[in-house]
Amino acid sequence: MTKVKETCNDLEQYSRRECVEIHGIPPTQDDESTEDTNEIVCKIGELIGFEIESQDISVSHRLPTKGNWAPAIIAKFVRRETKEDFYGNRKKLRSFTTKDLGYGIENKIKSLTTKV
C-alpha cells in the first residue's frame, strides 16, 4: 500500500510541473466563475516583460480558500519551457502591485510559486 501511495504522489507531482500559483490578486468579479484568469495571467506576463498568449495556458482558475484571503490563481501552461521562463521572471514582480494591473486596491503580488 505504501508503494501505491508513493507512486500516486509521484504522478501528482509530475502532473504539476507546468503549473504556477499567483497570490495577492483580488477577484475581479463577485462571481469568480465569470472571471477570466487566463487574461490575468497574460497581464502579469506583460508586467514582468514576458509575453504570454492565451493559447500558452492550458487551464487557469482560482484555488479554493478559507477565510478572507484572496484566493490564489493556479495556471497550467501548455509547455514546461513557457512555465519555466514565466517563473524565472518572478523576481520582477517585487516592484509591482495590483494597481499596476488596473485594480482599485493596492496589494503586493505576493509570490509566484511552482507546484512541485
Supply the pLDDT for residue 56: 96
**pLDDT tens-digit readout, 68-96:** 677 899 999 999 999 999 988 888 988 99
In sequence order, what are the beta bridge partners of 77? 57
- What CA–CA distances, in Å, run from 95 to 47, 62, 74, 91, 101? 10, 23, 21, 8, 12
Is 2-114 a CATH 1.10.10.350 domain?
A: no
Query: For 19-55, what is each residue's pLDDT tens digit?
Result: 999 999 988 766 556 889 999 999 999 999 999 999 9
66-92: burial string, b at 16+ Cβ within 10 Å, e else: eeeebbbbbbbbeeeebbeebeebbee
Question: For the residues 101-112, what does the mean pLDDT come to?
Answer: 86
Residue entry with cell 469568480? 32
pTM of the model: 0.82
CB neighbours of residue 14 within 10 Å: 10
Confidence class of residue 114 from pLDDT cuts 50, 70 and 90? low
Give the angle 111-90-103 at the CA atoms, nearest 5°: 60
Residues 6+ apart with CB under 8 A from 15: none
Q: Edge-to-edge strand order for the sheet containing 73-77? A: 57-62, 73-77, 19-23, 111-114
- pLDDT-derived band at 111, boundaries 50, 70, 90: confident
Helical (H) or strand (E) element with 62? strand 57-62
